[in-house]
Structure 1
C-alpha cells in the first residue's frame, strides 16, 4: 500500500450505540481521485468525516502520508493542508461571496476561482446564504481550489448543479495536484477515468474496491439493493 495519500485502517466509528463503520480499510493515493460510492446509510459520509477528523474513531487508525494522525484534531489536519467540503453548510452564509473567496485565498488573488466558475463574478456582492444550492456548491468548491490543499475531501460536489457545471466540476477535481476523495451515490461519468479508484460501501463495510473502469462495466455496483437490516447513518 503506497504511503502517499490518506488511509483508513480497520476504522470503526460509532454514533452512540450504533456502529456506522465496521472495520473499514481504504487508501486514497496522492495525487489522484478516489470515489466512495454508496447510498444514504452506507457510511461514505462517515468515512469522509473520519478522514477529516470531525468524527473520532472508536477503533483503527487514520494515516496520512505514512504518519498516524488518528489523534490529530481536525483543525490541525486543516492547517497541514486537508480541506473538507461537506454536503451542507460548506460556506460562510453571513459573508459575501467575495469575503468567502478572500478568506480562502489568504491574501492571494482569488481570480482562479472566477476562472473555474465565471458565474460567481456577478455574485461577489451577494451574501453566500442567499445563493441557490448549486451556486453555494460552486462557491464551496472554489474555496477548496483556492486553499491549495494537499488533501481535498468532498461530499457530493455537484449537488444542485446543472449537468454542464457538474461536468466542469469533476474536470476541476481531476486536475488537482492533490489527494482528492469524493463521496457519491453513483459514479459520475466525469470520474470514470481508469486512474480513478472506487470503493463501494454498504452498511458501513467495503463491498467493492477497484478502478472506475471496472465499476462502470457493471451497473449492479451502483444500483444493487442493500440487504435487509437496520439503517445506518451516512
Structure 2
C-alpha cells in the first residue's frame, strides 16, 4: 500500500489552546486508518486538518507526497476528498432521495448497501433517526467514489449488525479511508487496519489493529509507547 495522506509535525490551535501537538501520521490507500481516542483527544481535529477545514499553526499536510497545507477545503474536495462529519452530515430539509441524487443520479449502489433506506426515500432527512442519518451520509460518500474518505464516528447510532456492515463497506473501498472512533471498530475479515491512538492532542500508539487486540505483553504503557516518527504523549 502507498501512503496517500500525511500529517507532518502538525499543530492546530483554537485561540490560546493547542489541540494538536506536532502530530505525525500517515494513511495508506487503499486502506483503512483508525484514529482512536476519547472526546477531546484530537481525533476530530486531525480529520478537519486533513480536509483543510482548520488551518495548521505548524507542520504540513501532504497528499501523494505533495504539500497541500495551503490548499483550501473546496479544492481538496474537487481533487477527490470526501469528509463525513459527526454532525450535520446530511441536508435535513431535503428528502432521502434528494440527498442521494446530489451525490449521484443513480443511487442504486447506496440502496444496495443500506436497504433500510428504501422505504425512507420520500422522508425528509432531518426526521430520520441518528443511525438512519449516518447510513444516508455514508451512502452519499459511497456514491461520490472519492479517492480519500474521512469519516467521524461512522457507526454512531447503528446496531452492531449495521455497524459491521458499514466497516465492510468502508474496508472494500478503493480509497484511502480514515475514520475517527472512540473504540476500536470491527476490522473487516481478511483486512488490516492501521491505528493511531490519540490522547490530549498527541499520538501515544501507532500500529496495526491486531496489536491492540492481542493479550498484553509487558505493561500497557509499553504497548502504547510511541514509535519513531510519532509524538510523545502530552
TM-score, length basis structure 2: 0.90
Correspondence list, 1:37-116, <5 A? 37-105=36-104, 107=105, 109-116=106-113
Q: How many residues align?
A: 220
Q: Residue 57 of structure 1: SS of its match in structure 2?
A: coil
Contact 2:9/2:23 (<8 A) preserved: yes
Q: CA deviation at 1:3?
A: 5.8
Q: CA deviation at 1:27?
A: 0.2
Summarize deviations over 1:174-221 as a string: whole Å, max 9, x none. Answer: 000000001001101235866210000000000000011101115758
Q: CA deviation at 1:132?
A: 0.3
Correspondence list, 1:51-200, <5 A? 51-105=50-104, 107=105, 109-190=106-187, 195-200=192-197
Contact 1:192/1:216 (<8 A) preserved: no
Q: Residue 190 of structure 1: SS of its match in structure 2?
A: coil
Flag structure 2 segments of 5+ consecutive residues without an equivalent: 225-233
Q: Structure 1 residue runs of 4+, over 3 Å off?
A: 190-194, 218-221
Contact 1:9/1:26 (<8 A) preserved: yes
Flag structure 1 segments of 5+ consecutive residues without an equivalent: 225-231
Q: Residue 119 of structure 1: SS of its match in structure 2?
A: helix
Residue in 2 that maps onto 1:229:
none
Contact 1:192/1:212 (<8 A) preserved: no
CA distance in 1, matches of 2:58, 2:187: 34
CA distance in 2, matches of 1:120, 1:195: 29
TM-score, length basis structure 1: 0.90
CA RMSD of aligned residues (A): 1.8
